[in-house]
Structure 1
Amino acid sequence: MCKWIVVLLSFLLCVNAQAVTNLTALSEQGIEQWQAKEFSGKSIYSVEQYKGQMTLKAISQNSASGLVLEKKIDLLNTPYLSWSWLVEKTLPQLDEQSKSGDDFIARIYVVIDGGLFIWNTKSLNYVWSSNQAKGALWDNAFAGSRVKMLAIQGQGSKSGVWYQEKRNVYQDLIDTFGDKGSAKANQKAYQYIDMIAIMTDTDNCGRDAESYYGDIFFSE
């Protein structure tokens, strides 16, 4: 019996020791550490209960603003980004690969800051697409190949339903921006991200969107 207790305690200690970085902690108003970034008009973000969980509610009415968290994340230690999201309104009949249709009811994106060498800055956008197929990948209409758009949800995804997501960001960066040819070179290029952002925007199409985000966290 004692042996099994020791094994159980060891297992619990290993589970508790796993690295988890909760970036929002919505039940504790953790979103307060995020900074508003306005591009065109102001989307409204608020923390509230919705359909059984604490959420970050996002309302966009012909606007484009987001919430930004400047935080260096070591993707070798915590490569997995997890979150949940739900949308109530989609944006049909948009060409999201064009400048006039570059609007998304929900998106979470990560940024590698190139510093003074702005051409080295890279951003991967995980988007809820209104008209692209799930899994579609394309260059941003405004920023080109430095900003990649990846449809995590797309045509056929249901409104009013929570979706749970988990992505290996480190591997996604390699897959979308290119394998550097060796593990060492990939680590040099993609080990760290410097910024995470949330945005629901409709400034190009001039419509309304309503979306909800659950806690956003990185883990082993």
Structure 2
Amino acid sequence: MQSLNDGWEPLEFPKIDQLTRYELVTEDGEQVVKATTRGGASGLIARVNLEPSDSLVLQWRWKVSNVFEQGDAREKSGDDYPARIYVAFEFQPEKAGFFERAKRKAVEVLFGETLPGNALNYIWANTLPEGKFVPNPYTGKTVMVAVNSGSEQVGEWVTIERDIVADYRKAFGEAPPPVVGIAIMSDSDNTNETATAWYGDIVLNP
């Protein structure tokens, strides 16, 4: 990768002006993405179109400088993570109500982009126990999955493997639609804390 423009694009949010800083760095002899968040939020997303089969394994490495003292995946005020991997799935209009379809259409007309449907968020949590699934406090369409928790492994590279088909079934009770995006995000807009995260290779294996 020569720059963060190679396959990645910014993922930004309305009403959040303070953005996370992402840069390519060499860490422990390897090229990784370094994210620095100071009271803001933004991500980097790679757009894909991938039809899941019986199994789809997502593997990545990451490291964080700290967890957030005020972090709490169950509360809006604590919905921040030094590191997270966001897996977005295709919207299924046949399973949505009329008002949701109309609202989404209005957003697409205004902003010119197609919104994803359900999502899995793999998080480095503060107090949520490792392995726990909880709905996001802002939307039931996103389920948070704690793959690391607490500060025991802070400062260490951790390798994670998740079968996103199995996780989607557990989170939403059905087989997943196509994957349309994979994003990295370090955010601190709710807790107003500070953290640095490093993201290594992200690989999808059918």
Which letter maps to 1:127? I
Residue of structure 2 equivalent to 1:102: 79
Residues 92-116 of structure 1: per-residue CA shift (max 9 Å, x gap): 2332211111101100011112166
Alignment of 1:42-57 (within 5 A): 42-57=19-34
1:68 corresponds to 2:42? no
Residue of structure 2 equivalent to 1:33: 7
Which letter maps to 2:52? L
User: 1:30 Cα deviation (Å)?
Assistant: 6.3
Question: Matched residues, percent identical?
Answer: 29
CA distance in 1, matches of 2:70, 2:4: 36
User: 1:214 Cα deviation (Å)?
Assistant: 0.3
Residues 19-49 of structure 1: per-residue CA shift (max 9 Å, x gap): xxxxxxx4x5465221112222210001111
Residue of structure 2 equivalent to 1:194: 180
Residues 138-193 of structure 1: per-residue CA shift (max 9 Å, x gap): 110111x21100000002541110011111111111111104xxxxxx3xxx1411
Residue of structure 2 equivalent to 1:173: 168
Pick one of 59, 70, 74 that aligns with 1:93.
Answer: 70
Confirm or deny: 8 A CA contact 2:67 2:151 kept in the other structure.
Answer: no
Task: Decide whether aligned partners of structure 1 residues 152 and 99 sit closer, same or farther in structure 2, where only a CA change above 3 A counts.
Answer: same
1:81 corresponds to 2:53? no
TM-score (norm 1): 0.77
Residue of structure 1 equivalent to 2:144: 149
Which letter maps to 1:146? K
Residue of structure 1 equivalent to 2:127: 131
Confirm or deny: 8 A CA contact 2:120 2:168 kept in the other structure.
Answer: yes
CA distance in 2, matches of 1:30, 1:203: 23
Residues 26-77 of structure 1: per-residue CA shift (max 9 Å, x gap): 4x54652211122222100011111232111000010000011221122218
- Structure having the higher Rg: 1
Task: Decide whether aligned partners of structure 1 residues 212 and 139 sit closer, same or farther in structure 2, where only a CA change above 3 A counts.
Answer: same
Confirm or deny: 8 A CA contact 2:73 2:144 kept in the other structure.
Answer: no
CA distance in 1, matches of 2:54, 2:4: 22
Q: Secondary structure at the match of 1:60?
A: strand
Which letter maps to 1:69? A
Task: Decide whether aligned partners of structure 1 residues 30 and 209 sit closer, same or farther in structure 2, where only a CA change above 3 A counts.
Answer: closer
Confirm or deny: 8 A CA contact 1:76 1:191 kept in the other structure.
Answer: no
Task: Decide whether aligned partners of structure 1 residues 160 and 53 sit closer, same or farther in structure 2, where only a CA change above 3 A counts.
Answer: same
CA distance in 2, matches of 1:54, 1:92: 29
Which letter maps to 1:128? W
Confirm or deny: 8 A CA contact 2:33 2:198 kept in the other structure.
Answer: yes
Q: Secondary structure at the match of 1:33?
A: coil
Confirm or deny: 8 A CA contact 1:45 1:57 kept in the other structure.
Answer: yes
Confirm or deny: 8 A CA contact 1:45 1:58 kept in the other structure.
Answer: yes
User: 1:195 Cα deviation (Å)?
Assistant: 1.2
How many pairs are equivalent? Answer: 184
1:164 corresponds to 2:162? no
Residue of structure 2 equivalent to 1:206: 192
